[in-house]
């Protein structure tokens, strides 16, 4: 019986061995296929990583801005690691007899070139060349901003975006109108009466802590770009945040520092169509302290912007107290009828105790530089405009502005209304 069992068992064991052998071979073949697929995937990942690295190596430098307002649409072109872009505007302007364009003018309203490039890791270079701005009297090449941006310095303590450093020549970060002042960004053609803006040399730190954004700048203060003629510097602080998605709030404070009248003339900060400059020929130094609040309501079809503040002007005139309290405010609204067609309006006013050098739409040679011209103690402006934005890079606008004022001698300013039409673009 045992021998018979043995005879019957041998074929069964041989069949089992053959089956296991086939299964082992199938597993080996499947393993080989998986290894081949894994190698192909690794090669594909390596190729993709190489392509991403090449794209990054030629991508345009984009320094972290203080308050991101640009669109994400691509613009400009690359020369290796150097990125070149530009903005501009052309149009027609006509004002009343006491305005800046009484005869009607076709003009280049703005022409700027931007050059950007990465320097090293999170260090970027940015420069702005102004071929023409509205404030110029002739075509010329001027340096706008030029700075080095050291992004994410706060990575040294493992925090993203808390601290960034900017060195060079850059916008004075007072208020928020300057962030959308360029023709392609401004829904209107005119600016508010205050029109705070300026470019100055200095150092700036900016960033965000939780929901609070901040900018702190120390700059030269005077209009001279080559030298600073006083040891006193301008200091500007702006804080802002978005407590809820449809609400933005901000607050700014600034001191211009002492400005040397003989060598610099006036502050680097623009105000009222002019600058903070002397109202007395006896003053050799002038200064101003300012504060402003900003609120923006983001609406489904547009926005409403409110801003207002106070400035205190002073100088060192030994013969008189020329101190001035100046109050100002602005209200701007925009409504989109369609995605491209919109209407906008802005009302702004400046009230200056005992008068100040307020130009507005007026002739700057008359209302700022003529010492015989009475000072203006009340000036207001209402701008009404329509616009059609074909895309982020092209917009057509038309606007009519009413401007009225009152001078300290009792005379009224009634001949500075303006009409303007403009095409703004960027590339």
**Mind listing the pLDDT tens digit of every residue in the chain (427 residues)?**
444 334 333 344 445 556 666 666 666 676 666 666 666 666 666 665 555 554 444 343 444 445 443 333 456 778 889 999 999 999 999 999 999 999 999 999 999 999 999 999 999 999 999 998 888 777 778 899 999 999 999 999 999 999 999 999 999 999 999 999 999 999 999 999 999 999 999 999 999 999 999 999 999 999 887 888 999 999 999 999 999 999 999 999 999 999 999 999 999 999 999 999 999 999 999 999 999 999 999 999 999 999 999 999 999 999 999 999 999 999 999 999 999 999 999 999 999 999 999 999 999 999 999 999 999 999 999 999 999 999 999 999 999 999 999 999 999 999 999 999 999 999 9
Q: β-strand 394-407 against 418-426: which pairing, if any? A: antiparallel
pLDDT of the residue at 34: 63
d(CA 376, CA 367): 8
State residue 16 phi and psi, 5-degree precision: -60, -45
d(CA 382, CA 23): 88
pLDDT of the residue at 131: 92
3-state secondary structure of 134: coil
Structural domains in the chain plus CATH codes: 91-101+149-426 (2.40.160.10)
Half-sphere exposure of 265 (CA within 13 A, CB side): 10
pLDDT of the residue at 141: 83
Q: β-strand 259-260 against 270-271: which pairing, if any? A: unpaired
Closest CA relative to residue 424, chosen from 187, 88, 188, 105:
88
d(CA 427, CA 425): 7
pLDDT of the residue at 21: 67
pLDDT of the residue at 76: 77
- Name the strand (E) or helix (H) holding 366: helix 364-367
pLDDT of the residue at 79: 80
pLDDT of the residue at 35: 67
Report field, pTM of the whole predicted structure over 0.75:
yes
- Token readout for 106 is 């076709």
- Name the strand (E) or helix (H) holding 51: helix 2-58
Q: Is 339 exposed, middle or buried (0-12, 13-18, 19+ CB in 10 A)?
A: exposed
3-state secondary structure of 348: strand
d(CA 293, CA 99): 30
State residue 40 phi and psi, 5-degree precision: -65, -40
């Amino acid at each position: 019986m045992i021998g018979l069992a043995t005879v019957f068992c041998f074929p069964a064991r041989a069949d089992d061995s053959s089956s296991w052998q086939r299964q082992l071979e199938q597993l080996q073949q499947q393993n080989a296929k998986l290894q081949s697929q894994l190698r192909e995937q690794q090669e594909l990942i390596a190729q993709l990583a190489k392509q991403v690295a090449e794209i990054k190596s030629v991508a345009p430098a984009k320094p972290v801005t203080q308050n991101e307002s640009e669109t994400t649409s691509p613009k400009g072109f690359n020369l290796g690691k150097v990125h070149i872009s530009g903005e501009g505007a052309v149009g027609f302007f006509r004002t009343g007899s006491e305005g800046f364009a009484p005869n009607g003018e076709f003009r280049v309203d703005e022409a700027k070139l931007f050059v950007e490039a990465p320097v090293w890791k999170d260090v970027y270079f940015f420069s702005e060349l102004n071929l023409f701005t509205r404030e110029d009297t002739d075509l010329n090449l001027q340096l706008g901003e030029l700075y080095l941006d050291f992004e994410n310095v706060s990575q040294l303590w493992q925090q993203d975006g808390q601290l960034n450093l900017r060195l060079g020549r850059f916008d004075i970060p007072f208020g928020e109108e300057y962030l959308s002042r360029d023709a392609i960004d401004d829904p209107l053609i005119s600016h508010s009466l205050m029109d705070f803006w300026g470019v100055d040399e200095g150092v700036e730190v900016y960033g965000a802590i939780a929901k609070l954004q901040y900018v702190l700048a120390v700059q030269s203060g005077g209009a001279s770009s080559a030298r600073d003629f006083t040891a006193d510097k301008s200091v500007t602080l702006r804080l802002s945040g978005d407590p809820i998605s449809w609400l933005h709030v901000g607050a700014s404070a600034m001191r211009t520092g002492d400005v040397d009248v003989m060598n610099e003339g006036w502050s680097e900060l623009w105000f009222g169509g002019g600058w903070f400059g002397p109202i007395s020929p006896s003053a050799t130094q002038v200064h101003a302290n300012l504060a402003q609040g900003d609120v923006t309501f983001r609406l489904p079809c547009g926005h409403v912007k409110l801003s207002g503040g106070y400035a205190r002007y002073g100088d060192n005139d030994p013969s008189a107290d020329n101190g001035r309290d100046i109050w100002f405010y602005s209200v701007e609204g925009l409504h989109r009828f369609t995605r491209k067609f919109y209407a906008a309006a802005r009302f702004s006013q400046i009230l200056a105790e005992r008068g100040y050098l307020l130009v507005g739409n007026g002739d700057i040679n008359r209302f700022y530089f003529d010492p015989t011209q009475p000072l203006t103690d009340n000036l207001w402006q209402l701008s009404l405009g329509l616009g059609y934005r074909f895309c982020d890079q092209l917009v057509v606008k038309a606007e009519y502005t009413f401007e009225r004022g009152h001078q300290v001698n009792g005379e009224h300013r009634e001949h500075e209304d303006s009409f303007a039409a403009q095409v703004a673009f960027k590339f």
